[in-house]
């Protein structure tokens, strides 16, 4: 009898699903989705608004410009007006200014609540280049500025500007002993050099040893034998001599 009761004992009931927990989890998922959707919608809506706290209203240029067109500078700066001074990246302003042909360096400072102060350094013009451009102190050709420039004229093949300017500066030091100024320095396509002085004298120096040949010309012009002569042309291309042409 005891064995029969044991075999016919009560069976275990299957555990019920946690319905409340699943319902709560589902509700959280739905609410999270709604909140996320609202956030995305709000961000998109706010991004469409143009919010510019403390807008830039005034720009001030520290010194007047000599070579760079001031209208081009103002055009760059006006593009930043009404933008937020709070979020304005000054490096962007400086880069835009330094893209202008005659601006070598720029400095921009914020002045609260709505002003920027701009200081500009222009390139230094050294000489005219092939009659169309101007070389700066690094030998880079730039467009001619609006102002007229009384500079020496340098001429040479394309992509030779830096070399011609370097040679011009060396010639300037050598011929300074004569108290004369160079008005033109030319390098021909094959590398031959010609120099013209402010008194009209033209000097042919050839392709090689041009500095030594130019010093030889200076010694000749400083000698008493030719101090009173009106020389209009000197050919210094000879290895050990100089040919001259005296004006009639």
Please report the pLDDT score of residue 70 as a whole number. 94
Burial 196-212 (b: 16+ CB within 10 A, else e): bbeeebbbbbbeeebee
Q: Are 201 and 232 in contact (CB under 8 A)?
A: yes
The predicted model scores a pTM of 0.73
Please report the pLDDT score of residue 5 as a whole number. 47
Distances (CA, A) of 169 to 97, 116, 145: 30, 39, 22
Concatenate the DSSP letters of all residues of 146-187 into one string.
SS-----EEE-STT-HHHHHHHHHHHHHHHGGGT--EEEEEE
Please report the pLDDT score of residue 247 as a whole number. 83
- Which stretches in the chain have pLDDT values below 50? 1-7, 9-10, 14-17, 45-46, 49
Give the up-direction half-sphere exposure of residue 14: CA atoms within 13 A in the CB hemisphere. Answer: 2
Angle at CA of residue 127, ends 126 and 132, nearest 5°: 130
Which pair of structure tokens corresponds to residue 158? 């394309």
Task: Give the number of other Cβ atoms within 10 Å of residue 226's Cβ.
Answer: 14
| Beta strand residue intervals within 37-82, DSSP E | 58-61
Distances (CA, A) of 222 to 178, 226, 229: 7, 7, 11
Please report the pLDDT score of residue 134 as a whole number. 97
Of the chain, the end-to-end C-alpha distance in Å amounts to 157
| Residues across the chain | 248
């Amino acid at each position: 009898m005891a064995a029969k009761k044991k075999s016919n004992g009560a069976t275990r009931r299957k555990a019920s699903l946690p319905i409340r927990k699943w319902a709560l989890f589902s509700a959280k998922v739905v609410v999270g989705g709604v909140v996320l959707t609202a956030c995305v919608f709000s961000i998109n809506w706010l991004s469409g608004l143009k919010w510019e706290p403390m807008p830039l209203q005034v720009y001030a240029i520290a010194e007047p410009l000599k070579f760079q067109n001031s209208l081009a500078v103002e055009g760059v700066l006006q593009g930043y007006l009404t933008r937020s001074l709070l979020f304005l990246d000054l490096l962007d302003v400086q880069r835009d200014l330094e893209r202008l042909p005659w601006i070598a360096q720029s400095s921009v400072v914020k002045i609260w609540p709505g002003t920027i102060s701009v200081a500009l350094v222009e390139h230094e013009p050294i000489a005219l280049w092939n009659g169309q451009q101007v070389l700066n102190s690094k030998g880079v050709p730039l467009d001619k500025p609006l102002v007229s420039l009384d500079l020496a004229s340098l001429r040479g093949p394309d992509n030779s500007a830096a070399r011609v300017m370097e040679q011009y500066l060396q010639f300037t030091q050598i011929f300074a002993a004569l108290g004369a100024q160079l008005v033109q320095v030319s390098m021909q396509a094959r590398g031959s050099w010609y120099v013209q002085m402010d008194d009209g004298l033209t000097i042919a120096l050839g392709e090689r040893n041009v500095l030594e040949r130019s010093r030889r010309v200076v010694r000749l012009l400083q000698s008493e034998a030719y101090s009173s002569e009106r020389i209009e042309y000197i050919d210094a291309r000879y290895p050990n001599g100089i040919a001259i042409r005296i004006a009639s």
